[in-house]
Amino acid sequence: MMSDDMLSQEEIDALLKGGDRDDTEESATMEAVKGVEEYLDAFEQDTLGEIGNISFGSSATALSSLLNQKVEITTPTVNVVEKSRLKDEFPHPYAAIEVQYTEGFSGANLFVIHQNDAAIIADLMLGGSGTNVTQELGELQLSAVQEAMNQMMGSAATSMSTIFNKKVDISPPSISLLNLNEGEGTESIPQQELLIKISFRLKVGELIDSNIMQLIPLQFGKQLVTELMNPPQTQDEPAPPSIQQAPVIKPSAPASAVQTPPASVAPMSSPSRPSKEPVHIGQASLGQTAPANVETAVFSSFQSAQLGDQEARNLNMLFDIPLQVTVELGRTNRNVKDILELTSGSIIELDKLAGEPVDVLVNNRLIARGEVVVIEENFGVRITNIASPADRLKNLN
């Protein structure tokens, strides 16, 4: 007979198996950490994580606008995996999105998400609720996921342009199904043997709480860290200063002479072969003062232009040009959020008080002010003030 305080053999075996499983998972984690530090030091891991955190932060904002759901992407974890062991890393069916850099970098990214998560994103993109979706992804669903990733990667590329202080552009992403156990989608995996796996936790409202993973070649990841820490110098070489001969002043006439001979101009010599001949300019020598020959400026007399018959007719044609007259009651500034919340019956407060004159604009230029009147069943404006010419000139700027 067995006491109530004693454990049965089945319970003992279960505990032993559980302990073995915990030890196995802990040893696997330690082995993974050891494998990462073998190729990436702690600084490189933190740098890659920070690059991913900044770039995917803007991607979360873009995805949230597309799905109309709250999207959170947490700080990533960095691992190094061998291409031959990817089956262990990705045992389930996934959707793989390949992105090539076309400017700024030379390399590729592969983003991997669970097939069920991709199906939820596709359903939200197509106007669904994201619930009760099937894991099978058809052509339409794949196109929807591809568009979502296109927006995300575009935002990420913009953030990387800011981080690295240079233009970064990407190609449109290509999407495929990835099932390594069946050998499906292996052509999208980078060809390098060692790959960096950057895993982000992805939360989309109450629908998705999973991971999105980024695969990049090890060498490309190290290149990102190096370029971020040591940006290439692109200083322009200063242009060589132009060598100009100082003029040598020689007396060309007695000091008492008023006449000044014409100056002889020598062509400027090349910077690499300075000319030995000085430039001679006919002036008084140093230490002597020649009287200046100053003449009074003579201006031609101008008369008011007289328009001919043809010119007068051309000017009269301008009177028939139609102009758009607008009466502005007032203005206000609102955020996009406030505009989207407007409904029938909403009241928008303007920047003018009741009874203030309204502005009369012609082609969006203020020319007068007036007060609103009612003529039979139509509104009208009685002009009370014409804008001064100075005000009109200010409005032209």
Condensed to tens digits (0 to 9), the pLDDT of residues 130-142 reads 888 877 788 888 8
- 47-76: per-residue pLDDT in tens? 888 888 888 777 888 888 888 888 888 878
Write down all domains in the chain, each with its CATH number in brackets: 22-229 (3.40.1550.10), 322-331+353-397 (2.30.330.10)
CA angle 97, 100, 106 (to 5 degrees): 145
Of the two residues 324 and 397, the one the predictor is more confident about is 324
Residue percentage of the chain with pLDDT more than 70: 71
313-346 per-residue burial string, b: 16 or more CB within 10 A, e: under 16:
eeeeeeeeeeeeeeeeeeeeeeeeeeeeeeeeee
- Helical spans, DSSP H, in the chain: 9-39, 42-67, 86-89, 115-125, 139-164, 218-229, 309-317, 336-340, 389-396
Angle at 288 between CA 284 and CA 289, to 5 degrees: 80
More confident residue, 319 or 372: 372
Strands in 378-386's sheet, in edge-to-edge order, are: 325-328, 358-362, 365-375, 378-386
* pLDDT value at 4 more than 80: no
pLDDT, average across residues 346-363: 86
The Cα–Cα gap between 372 and 128 comes to 50
- Res. 3: pLDDT tops 70: no
Number of Cβ atoms within 10 Å of the Cβ of 153? 22
Question: Does residue 244 or residue 361 have the better pLDDT?
Answer: 361
Per-residue confidence at 290, pLDDT binned at 50, 70, 90? low
Q: What is the pLDDT of residues 305-349, one digit of tens each?
A: 677 777 777 777 777 788 889 998 888 888 888 888 888 888 888
**What whole-number distance in Å separates Cα of residue 126 and Cα of residue 40?**
41
Enumerate the H helices of 68-129 as residue ranges: 86-89, 115-125
Checking if the pLDDT of 239 tops 50, the result is: no
Q: If you average pLDDT over every residue of the chain, what do you get?
A: 75
Given this model, what pLDDT does residue 267 score? Answer: 45
**pTM greater than 0.75:** no
DSSP class of 35 = H
